[in-house]
Structure 1
Amino acid sequence: MSLINKNTPQKLVKSLLSRCHQAKRTTFNATTTSNLTPAPQPVVATTSHNGDKIFEVEDTKSLFASVATGKLMHTAATLNVTAVEPVVDLSIWMMNSRLMEVGLVQKAVMGTIKHTVYNHFVAGSDTVETGQTVRRLWDCGLRGMLDYGLEHASDNESCDKVTQQLIKTAESTQSLPTSSVSFVVVKVTAVCPVNLLRRVSDLLRWEYKNSSFKLPWKLKTLPIFCDNSPFYHALQQPAALTAEEEHDLELAHQRLQFVCDKSFEGNVPVVIDAEDTSIQPAIDYMTYWACVKYNELQRPMIFGTIQAYLKDAGERMYLTKKAADKMGLPVGFKLVRGAYMSSERKLARSLGVESPIHDTISGTHDCFNGCATFMLDEVSNRPGGLILATHNLDSGKMAARKAREYGITKDSEKLEFASLYGMADAMTFGLRNAGFSVSKYLPFGPVDQIMPYLLRRAEENKGLLSSSNLDRQLMMNELKRRTKAYFGQGVRESDNQFKQEANSMTN
């Protein structure tokens, strides 16, 4: 039965069908088992051309009013240095070289990182320091998304250790100002061994393509695939999970449940991050299982993540949302552009299949904006939630304009703008000043543990097309303005003092 029915707004369906960046499905099985009529990806959102400014970034005095001059100088300097490609390339080479095995070298390098990029992009080494960062953000009218920095765990023992840290993270929200923490971030790779996630993903793919193939351990969830999804990871029928693997999967569910329960005690929702396509199906499976288990009648407490650089992103979002609607289940998504482009394309090339990533950056932009428009329309008069995680100024303005048109206010708790700590501050403060709810994504942990995150930020920040270009320019403009204002005030004070002395001499 088609999920596009007579109750679906015709304008929305036409928008979804009008322009698409479709990927040709590479099939290794001649039959498909889906009897759903798939909705194509949402497309580029239309924007208003009336010239109205939704939020202001040119007025740097208002934009950076809550940032001290010393902090502004440090931020501008860090962004400028990390945007120099040779510096970043040398740093990445150094971190991956055998020189790091030399004690003195390692100490010097880690010390430098600690006082530069670590302090800029990381919220703290533990929940205490991160709590201090949350309070500073809260004083500036912003919120925090708490993300314990460990990304991959290899076995049950390491998963148990990370789960305890995640529980501690969730507990820490109860001692912070109410509403200052918008979400606790969970990576399924930290509560379930990666190899098991890969096995589960392959089995889920095979089940989708073969109606007679059943998974006895599978729990109630929401749609994970569409016909346009990549299936080349499983070229032949995978072996069934062993009894030990099924037990480990049950343990992973329990760990996720423990973290969610603790977070909900403080009335803080959970957002589950996305990974690469080799393990994403298992992550979506666990995410949507938690949605079915926890999401309330009006407010989603579990948010999944959609990566808009994937060709099937819009269709999967649509199918999941409509299936949740049929169940009377509010669903929330965090929408991002994506972070595994190089590895995804490399794997596809090695197998001789088409990449799951959009062929052009404009395709990704169109998909992101279209998905945002679709969900803003959905949550404008129905339960649900959307986190728009973007550093792209055009996407931010488009979404803010749409939210205004739909009457989605800060008090509705249906829309949260988000950006990485230490990045996109101009857009962050602009959205805050415009009255939207805005969060900073706050990774935290010891410097050696959080290095993979820092290396990705370094890669992301370099180059002329870096999203930090606008921040650097505006910060430098504001520093110049403050310098002129400071010296101008000094000249005025001296002039006034001279006039007072002159008047006293003539009297």
Structure 2
Amino acid sequence: MSTKNYFDNTEVAFKLKSDSELERAYFLFKMISKEPLVRMGTAVTKFALNLNLPVEGLIRSTVFDHFCGGVNEKDCMSTVDKLYDVGVYSVLDFSVEGKEEDEQFDATAKKVVELTHFAQNKKAMPFSVFKPTGFGKFDIFQKITEKKSMTAAEEDQWEQIKRRYEEVSKAAHDCNISLLIDAEQSWMQDAADMLCEEMMAKYNREKPVVFNTLQCYRWDRLDYLKKQHEKAKAGGYKLGFKIVRGAYLEKENERAVENGYQTPICASKKETDDNFNAIMHYIMENLEDIHLFVGTHNELSTYLAMDYMEEMGIDKKDRKMWFGQLYGMSDHITFNLGELGYNVSKYIPFGPVKDVMPYLIRRAEENTSVAGQTSRELGLLKKEKVRRKL
């Protein structure tokens, strides 16, 4: 494991932050570190937004502007350009969640297609992204996963979801842009995987265009990956995977207990870490067949990937291998990787303030539940504040 402390360089990590942005980040992570405050804050925010109280300005100037690029893609462009200037790419993520109407699903798919065409002429944006439930109702994915019978109307909705997947995958293929498809809860994921596999078989002929996401807190994902690899070799196409630890830990475990089945989640944080690293290693050994996007805020896994690259003779600029972190988090990893010359990107959520709130609330809750993440952010922000004073 690398002994060099690349990620301790706060001057590089926060070089794009003004003093006031640094203060805001410090204030936000201080708030997020207190679980009761997060619970209270999210409840009050949901309440205020549901009543249409005039809180958007306040949200915008604090949590929204820290974790999001803007309300539309035009808003995000100055951020995208600034990041690119310091060697960091952008993945624009239209983070509108929890919609239920066909028109809204169509609008989201259309937005992803537009962004993909836009990215075609923008070197700073090599990826497009979407979330399965941005394209259709959760219930439909769940029914397909659980192999339940559906009404004619539901069958039609499933066909519409397939059409949206097809439109977006074709656009990515035609524009030579990689398409990252997020993963969600296990009880709907088989259906999402199935659609993603179909798109890979169709559009990943010459190289990986469509990427699925492996949530490595699921103990079954390494087996799933190996089976997909065999299938792809037999079918003559390539694979792309984004690997993450996973974002629905509590929900997954609670549901397993409630419904009396074995939880799909690893028994401990250590098992999750080991699983993540094993999956990462397997893909890196098979980069000719599978391209990799390492989505992580974990320093040890990042160092491990850097070590593997060195051992295996993988060039830092090899486009088969990417790193990524969320905008507003783990800048010490992102910007130092960029400075060192690795392919690294920021996932930048955007969208109308009200529509992006479910995403932001999940981020805040996730940060409180990841022990050490928030205190690490706070420590680095504090260190940079001291450095600037001196």
TM over 0.5: yes
The aligned runs of 1:371-410 (5 Å cut-off) are: 371-379=279-287, 382-410=288-316
| 1:1-35 Cα shifts (integer Å, max 9, x gaps) | xxxxxxxxxxxxxxxxxxxxxxxxxxxxxxxxxxx
- Tell me, yes or no, if the aligned pair for 1:408 and 1:414 is still in contact at 8 Å: no
Cα distance in 1 for partners of 2:27, 2:11 equals 19
Identify the match of residue 317 of structure 2 among 400, 411, 419.
Answer: 411
Stretch deviating more after TM superposition (329-338 or 145-154)? 145-154
- Tell me, yes or no, if the aligned pair for 1:191 and 1:252 is still in contact at 8 Å: yes
Match of residue 263 from structure 2? 355
Equivalent position SS for 2:322 = strand
Match of residue 366 from structure 1? 274
Cα distance in 2 for partners of 1:388, 1:163 equals 25
> What is the deviation of 1:135?
1.2
Match of residue 125 from structure 2? 181
Q: What amino acid sits opposite 1:321 in the alignment?
A: H
Matched, 1:198 2:142: yes
Distance 1:102 1:88, change over 3 A: same
Q: What amino acid sits opposite 1:117 in the alignment?
A: V
Identify the match of residue 33 of structure 2 among 73, 83, 94.
Answer: 83
- Tell me, yes or no, if the aligned pair for 1:305 and 1:336 is still in contact at 8 Å: yes
Match of residue 9 from structure 2? 59
Match of residue 112 from structure 1? 58
- Tell me, yes or no, if the aligned pair for 1:83 and 1:462 is still in contact at 8 Å: yes
Match of residue 323 from structure 1? 231
> What is the deviation of 1:476?
1.7
Q: Which has the higher helix share?
A: 2
Cα distance in 2 for partners of 1:413, 1:397 equals 18
- Tell me, yes or no, if the aligned pair for 1:418 and 1:441 is still in contact at 8 Å: yes
Matched, 1:94 2:44: yes
Q: What amino acid sits opposite 2:140 in the alignment?
A: L
Equivalent position SS for 1:347 = helix
- Tell me, yes or no, if the aligned pair for 1:426 and 1:470 is still in contact at 8 Å: no
Match of residue 190 from structure 2? 281
- Tell me, yes or no, if the aligned pair for 1:421 and 1:442 is still in contact at 8 Å: yes
Cα distance in 1 for partners of 2:11, 2:103 equals 51
> What is the deviation of 1:304?
0.2
Equivalent position SS for 1:411 = coil
| 1:30-79 Cα shifts (integer Å, max 9, x gaps) | xxxxxxxxxxxxxxxxxx4xx642x6123333444454444333323322
Equivalent position SS for 1:125 = coil
In the superposition, the TM-score normalised over structure 1's length comes to 0.73
Equivalent position SS for 1:394 = helix
Stretch deviating more after TM superposition (71-80 or 334-343)? 71-80
In the superposition, the TM-score normalised over structure 2's length comes to 0.93
Matched, 1:137 2:83: yes
| 1:222-254 Cα shifts (integer Å, max 9, x gaps) | xxxxxxxxxxxxxxxx32x44444433232222
Cα distance in 1 for partners of 2:337, 2:271 equals 25
Stretch deviating more after TM superposition (119-128 or 433-442)? 433-442
RMSD over aligned Cα, in angstroms? Answer: 2.0
Distance 1:101 1:183, change over 3 A: closer
Stretch deviating more after TM superposition (451-460 or 75-84)? 75-84
Cα distance in 2 for partners of 1:115, 1:67 equals 15
Cα distance in 1 for partners of 2:36, 2:253 equals 25
Cα distance in 1 for partners of 2:322, 2:164 equals 26
Identify the match of residue 73 of structure 1 among 5, 19, 23.
Answer: 23
Q: Which runs of 5+ in 2 are unaligned?
A: none
The aligned runs of 1:111-260 (5 Å cut-off) are: 111-176=57-122, 178=123, 180-203=124-147, 238-239=148-149, 241-260=150-169
Equivalent position SS for 2:352 = coil
- Tell me, yes or no, if the aligned pair for 2:32 and 2:374 is still in contact at 8 Å: no
Q: What amino acid sits opposite 2:6 in the alignment?
A: E
Equivalent position SS for 2:361 = helix
Cα distance in 1 for partners of 2:279, 2:335 equals 24
Equivalent position SS for 1:304 = strand
Equivalent position SS for 2:54 = helix
Equivalent position SS for 1:305 = strand
Give the greater-gyration-radius structure (CA). 1
Cα distance in 2 for partners of 1:131, 1:395 equals 30
Cα distance in 2 for partners of 1:411, 1:175 equals 20
Stretch deviating more after TM superposition (281-290 or 182-191)? 182-191
Match of residue 314 from structure 1? 222
- Tell me, yes or no, if the aligned pair for 1:460 and 1:466 is still in contact at 8 Å: no
Q: What amino acid sits opposite 2:195 in the alignment?
A: M
Distance 1:433 1:194, change over 3 A: same
